[in-house]
Structure 1
Amino acid sequence: MIRTFIFSFLLLGLASVLTAQNQNITLEEIWGGAFSAEGMDALHSMKNGKQYSVLNFDRNTRTVSIDKYDYKTLQKVETILSSADLDGIQYFQSYKFSRDESKLILATEVEPVYRRSRLGVYYIYDIVSKKLTQIAAQKIQEPTFSPDGSKVAYVFENNIYIKDLEDNGLIQVTKDGERNRIINGVTDWVYEEEFSFVRAFDWNETGSHLAYIRFDESDVPTFSMDVYGENLYPSQQVFKYPKAGEKNSEVSLHVYDLDAGVTSDIDLGNAYYIPRIQWTSDKSRLSVQVMNRHQNDLKLYFYDTNNKSSKVILHETDKAYIDVTDNLTFLNDNSFIWTSEKDGYNHIYLYSKEGKLINQITNGDWEVTNYYGFDQKTSRIFYQSVENGSINRDIYSIGINGKGKMRLSSGTGTNDATFSTDFTYYINTFSNTATPYLYTLNRAKDGKLLKEIVSNEALQSDLKQYQLSEKEFSTINVNGNDLNMWTIKPKGFDQNKKYPVLMYQYSGPGSQQVANRWNGSNDYWYQMLAQKGYIIVCIDGRGTGFKGADFKKVTYKELGKYEVEDQIAAAKQLAALPYVDEERIGIWGWSYGGFMSSNCILKGNDVFSMAIAVAPVTSWRFYDTVYTERYMRTPQENASGYDDNSPINYASNLKGDYLLIHGTADDNVHVQNTMRMAEALIQANKQFDWAIYPDKNHGIYGGKTRLQLYTKMTDFIDEHLGDRIGKELEAQEMKN
């Protein structure tokens, strides 16, 4: 009896282990945060280079603190500030130090405007005196310390103000700011979205001058969106949005002299875009990047406040377009580091202060993917690149003379770095498809691992309960190019069976989806679909990034042509595989990916039987000037490029099952795109499914929104790709 009991107990235990290892992923777990990886809060490296500060939140006391840690020991040294010690502030959401780290700007009551812009109530906290001062009674934008910490510049209602922190004086630098007409010191919608910055003012090294960009958007067409809300009548959001071929803001550059109280206008010739301004190491010289409308001609100007003259220091042109970066770095003598694709790959260059090329620092048939900075003491540059394969990222250092290159990272996958101010240490973030985010402290001079900080071992252990498939990397030769590809097959894959395939892609210019990194939320969804019996495939076609300028820019003036041809051709190759059900191949994507999936089911209606398009562009005529014209020029110049690749014009080709999804408050890709697509399908007498999400933006999230959205997409896939799976499972159940 005892032996029987023990044997039964062992069998029960074994069954429990097997069951635990075969647990299925659910959508509720994915969107409930069950698979969230542990990370590190954004840290600020202190000026001594030996310590860093982090914003911490205590759930028990509901307080926020800025805590200082030692790089070497990773131990907390002190609490710089706790909200518990502040009168009138229950918590703050972010902080910024003055350059000498004697003061802090604290952000409270922060509310988003668009993707990057924020309004908030901001305070100055003096660390020595422990005095707390509200900067302005109203919600303001982009408060920024002067270099000596004695003043703060900010924007309120499109005008620039400077507050003196010593005598509490206030200077109003501009007075013509007006909503939907004149903006001073912060960017308009299209600059914020496509040039990726909001603060359009900058202090010089001594705080004697403030440079700023002025946007006159009077003639920019207005776009409006209904906001349904919960009131009896909807409200309306009205803002300036320049669509392809329409008028942009007229931009001008100005410098305010604080001592003289005078503003100077800077002559930049025929500047159409001013995507970057930055003071050099010389207090009297301002650098300005200027581009033409086609964005294939970039000039770097130096403006001298002494003689009020501007001069072109560097001039680059390209047959297609030039990407704007934040990599410009000035050395003490005002020579500068610059990145460029001019030799066919993105590399690092050194120029003299007169704009003469001193040397190309990095070179080779690979891309620099991130520039981290320059160590003045050792004359070494730190950067990230794809030298170890385009799906991987590694950290390197190299002498400014282009010699002595050293690989600092060791793991094969995706490495990223955050360096201490003096480049003594860096925190490396590593992951690959098998390893969750691993944070380590490393020595910058040779990459030596000093200490592990966060390992995510608990997540890795938890995932062992689930039936997960390997993400397999490979290449597929399509239209004469070896394209990067990953595949997720069902666990227990049987090559003698026929499986349906769901393809995912994004495909936008310079983008990448096939990368050796840890899971995002969609990866868990793909694992869930694989558990149901689907093969999931992702292929980065022509036009995507990190394989050289020619590969990326081949789609110039033809967005949606070569990328679509690649996905269709790849799908046909997949359909020929013995284990793929050629009648059950679907494709999906979001934003640019929705544009692609729409085109694929229409132009590739002989291979794709199903498509899902979330927040898709359906005609580039509806999208903004900066992004669209960078790759397409204007509709007036390139009408066929716009229309030959618009899914709206191929609605009559629809044969398969098509799901169209959009949020009504999408300020980026307007719901107009989906409405026009729907109307084209209706007039072509084509049946389709669609879902509209009230008051949701381009991300379509909030509350249970993502869970409902992914449930809808999963059900759609099951209904239209998975019927064979369902029949096989039903037959198997009947046998059992």
Structure 2
Amino acid sequence: MSESFPRLSARTRRFTLGVPRSFTITPDGGRVVFLRTKSGTDPVTCLWELDTDTHVERLVVDPRALDADEENLPPEERARRERSREAAGGVVAYATDKDVTRASFALSGALYVVDFATGRTRRLDTPGAVIDPRLSPDGGQVAYVTGGALRVQDLGSGADRALATPESETVTYGLAEFIAAEEMSRMRGYWWAPSGDALLVERVDEAPVHVWHIADPANPDRPASAQRYPAAGTPNAVTELFVLGLDGSRVAVPYEEEYLTTAAWDTHALSIVTLTRDQRTMRLFTVDPATGASSLVREDTDPAWVDIVSGVPAHLDDGSLVWVAASEGGNRLFVGDRAVTPPTLQVRAVLDVDHDSVLFSASGDPTEVHLWTWDGHSLLPVSTRSGVFSGRMSGGVGVLTEQSLDAEGVSTTVVRRDGMAVPIPSFAERPGLDLRVSLGRSGRRELATAVVLPSWHEQGSGKLPVLMDPYGGPHAQRVLNRRGAFLESQWFAEQGFAVIVADGRGTPGRGPEFERSVLNDLATPALEDQIDALQGVAEQYPDDLDLTRVAIRGWSFGGFLAALAVLRRPDVFHAAVAGAPVTDWRLYDTCYTERYLGHPDEQPEVYENSSLFADAAKLERPLLLIHGLADDNVVAAHTLRLSSALLAAGRQHSVLPLSGVTHMTPQEVVAENLLLLQVDFLKKSLG
């Protein structure tokens, strides 16, 4: 008997296990280092190497051979993995020296360094559990964080010393704070100098941040976990920067803005990027590491907000700045002061700079993500087929990953300088679903929409109940030309639903104006657009959709949107499953919430309009609330307070608390049964 989709999806971490990822190409293009598990159900990630000349793959590090206990992780590492949505174990992150001769990584809090030439892996002695080890550019030393201190160990002599130690229990050196990791995609807090004799280090003091307590009611003998959570309108952690020399010197790098979005240190400059708390002004500075004095290079402003874009700042060989900014209605690539992409091509990220060439991802059609290069003279498309692409580039060699609706899984190819393509195989499991997905535009705003029908349904043969399956929030997409985006939706369709997935205003790929149209209102546009998409699809499939039976499900922002739908528009939506919903935006974090809604003390009415509590008395449809009690991102208080408001209003609803479960729901049994319970609830609710 074959394994059910819910069980297989849970065991394979939604079919991500066995997929190659985290690529590093040597400067000469001769080798590619990457991570991959040994099978599609093996959760232990290994480090691999591919010789691009011989096409021979080699297993470099197998954590099982090192007898590393993956369950014994320091709490800082568990938090880092939660922020990065890391579902696997083993070597989930690594760092190399400049020439990729060595790699450093942490396993169960222990520090390891592997030499690629010999294949020898060494465990290094450290005074405590290790977080985020990074090799110096010459590979002779490794820096790491332990107990909030930033330390450096010499690989030759074994000498190990602290460059900075925390002055109190609320201080750390070298770690990204919660907001940087959760909302800015910055997972690091220190950067080596190219010369290897100093580091730029972030000091974080969480003392001003309010303390929340996350309890485990299922285990009352365990004390609640104290967490400093910067909710909207409350203080953030205080961040500072220092250049710490290996000679013991310490130079402060002052900046005035609330947020440090990123930093970069290459042979051209030490650069830092800052963002004001209202996120309307982003500044790029170069810093003199000897004095800490900074010079303003660029300032970008926007009446709504300035986007944080990964991969910048960077520099070409001649020192020209590589940057991305909104200009003339588009998110555009800048080289120096010149925009080198048209406003119609929405640049998403800079992936690599290889001497005088820039590799970046961009969209013309929001459902597709393509690769392009700028070679100093012209724009050249790298990906030519329909789909979603990403990649790396170094030494004239590229790594190309491709996904589409036409093929299962992720295809990874190394493209050599001579044009030969060398595949890196994926070991991911096959989902075993016959996808029936149609991408198109629907509604008055021509929203990107996917219609997912049961594989057995004959069009026009009868009307199906409808399941809206959105995320719906800003800066995230569901409707993309790749099979992996619709596996769960297809499984729900096989249970007898016509599933609609729609990306409304705020989602990327259609330009700054479309993204910023959710300013000061996270509720109305999101809900209007789901209704608009539903009505548009109903016009396209008049004989297949039963609009008297429409349900909606979602997680996180999607959970908020699902609850919002049945509360405010019961005439359209007849049942909802809201997983880990944000119910009161005052309970969500500063950076994300204030970007869209401003400061709650300055415009409380904006927060009221986007809250669900005032609508509690309106509930007349079945609503299932699901929440992990260990969630430290959208805390369980969101669901519990909404449930209390519904109870006070005398409104019947269901709550499913998940003991010990975080925002990711990584546990296999939980992930499997959550799908089954949702289907059961929706079928009963819709009759």
The reply to whether TM is greater than 0.5 is yes
2:421 to 434, 450, 472: 450
- Would you say 1:318 and 2:318 are equivalent positions? no
Report if aligned partners of 2:369, 2:389 keep a CA contact under 8 Å in 1.
yes
Instruction: Give the 3 Å change call, closer, same or farther, for CA 29–646 of structure 1 in structure 2.
Output: same
2:360 matched to which residue of 1? 383
- Would you say 1:199 and 2:194 are equivalent positions? no
1: CA distance, partners of 2:100 / 2:509: 38
Structure 2: gaps spanning 5 or more residues: 71-89
Instruction: Give the 3 Å change call, closer, same or farther, for CA 64–581 of structure 1 in structure 2.
Output: closer
Instruction: Give the 3 Å change call, closer, same or farther, for CA 656–296 of structure 1 in structure 2.
Output: same
- Would you say 1:349 and 2:334 are equivalent positions? yes
2: CA distance, partners of 1:492 / 1:579: 9
Q: CA deviation at 1:677?
A: 0.5
Instruction: Give the 3 Å change call, closer, same or farther, for CA 227–638 of structure 1 in structure 2.
Output: same
- Would you say 1:649 and 2:614 are equivalent positions? yes
2: CA distance, partners of 1:557 / 1:62: 41
1:423 matched to which residue of 2? 396
Q: Which amino acid aligns with 2:350?
A: Y
Report if aligned partners of 1:413, 1:432 keep a CA contact under 8 Å in 2.
yes
1:397 to 373, 379, 386: 373
- Would you say 1:473 and 2:460 are equivalent positions? no
Count of residue correspondences: 659
1: CA distance, partners of 2:501 / 2:105: 43
Q: Which has the higher contact order (CA 8 A, sep 6+)?
A: 2
- Would you say 1:240 and 2:228 are equivalent positions? yes
SS class of match (1:290): strand
1:363 matched to which residue of 2? 342
Once the two structures are overlaid, the 10-residue window that deviates more, 670-679 or 199-208, is 199-208
- Would you say 1:216 and 2:182 are equivalent positions? no
Instruction: Give the 3 Å change call, closer, same or farther, for CA 280–569 of structure 1 in structure 2.
Output: same
1:711 to 663, 676, 683: 676
TM-score when scaled to structure 2? 0.88
Q: Which amino acid aligns with 1:173?
A: L
Aligned counterparts, 1:610-689, within 5 A: 610-689=575-654
Taking only the aligned residue pairs, the percentage that are identical comes to 24
2: CA distance, partners of 1:409 / 1:250: 43
1:224-276 alpha-carbon deviations (Å, 9 max, x no partner) = 1013576x6022211211100001112222112333x22122232x2211121
1:298 matched to which residue of 2? 282
1:149 matched to which residue of 2? 139
2:75 matched to which residue of 1? none
Report if aligned partners of 1:510, 1:546 keep a CA contact under 8 Å in 2.
no
Aligned counterparts, 1:462-541, within 5 A: 463=432, 468=434, 470-478=436-444, 481-490=445-454, 491-495=456-460, 497-520=462-485, 523-541=486-504
Report if aligned partners of 1:436, 1:455 keep a CA contact under 8 Å in 2.
no
Report if aligned partners of 2:468, 2:501 keep a CA contact under 8 Å in 1.
yes
1:586 matched to which residue of 2? 551
1:133-190 alpha-carbon deviations (Å, 9 max, x no partner) = 51414202122222222222222211222223333333322233433x2222212222
Structure label with greater radius of gyration: 1
SS class of match (2:224): strand
Structure 1: gaps spanning 5 or more residues: 1-19, 110-119, 352-356, 724-736
SS class of match (2:113): strand
Q: CA deviation at 1:609?
A: 0.7
1: CA distance, partners of 2:552 / 2:137: 52
Report if aligned partners of 1:25, 1:528 keep a CA contact under 8 Å in 2.
no
Q: CA deviation at 1:126?
A: 5.3
2: CA distance, partners of 1:436 / 1:541: 26
SS class of match (2:475): coil
1:386-433 alpha-carbon deviations (Å, 9 max, x no partner) = 23x2211222223224x2x222223212222233x2123x23222222
2: CA distance, partners of 1:80 / 1:33: 23
2:173 matched to which residue of 1? 184
1: CA distance, partners of 2:56 / 2:611: 56
Instruction: Give the 3 Å change call, closer, same or farther, for CA 106–183 of structure 1 in structure 2.
Output: closer
Q: Which amino acid aligns with 2:653?
A: F
1: CA distance, partners of 2:560 / 2:531: 14
SS class of match (1:202): strand
Instruction: Give the 3 Å change call, closer, same or farther, for CA 538–66 of structure 1 in structure 2.
Output: closer
TM-score when scaled to structure 1? 0.83
SS class of match (2:29): coil
SS class of match (2:179): helix
Instruction: Give the 3 Å change call, closer, same or farther, for CA 642–437 of structure 1 in structure 2.
Output: same
1:193-242 alpha-carbon deviations (Å, 9 max, x no partner) = 11222321111111222211212221210011013576x60222112111
2: CA distance, partners of 1:599 / 1:436: 34
1:409-461 alpha-carbon deviations (Å, 9 max, x no partner) = 23212222233x2123x232222223113535354779x563455488994xx
Report if aligned partners of 1:121, 1:139 keep a CA contact under 8 Å in 2.
yes
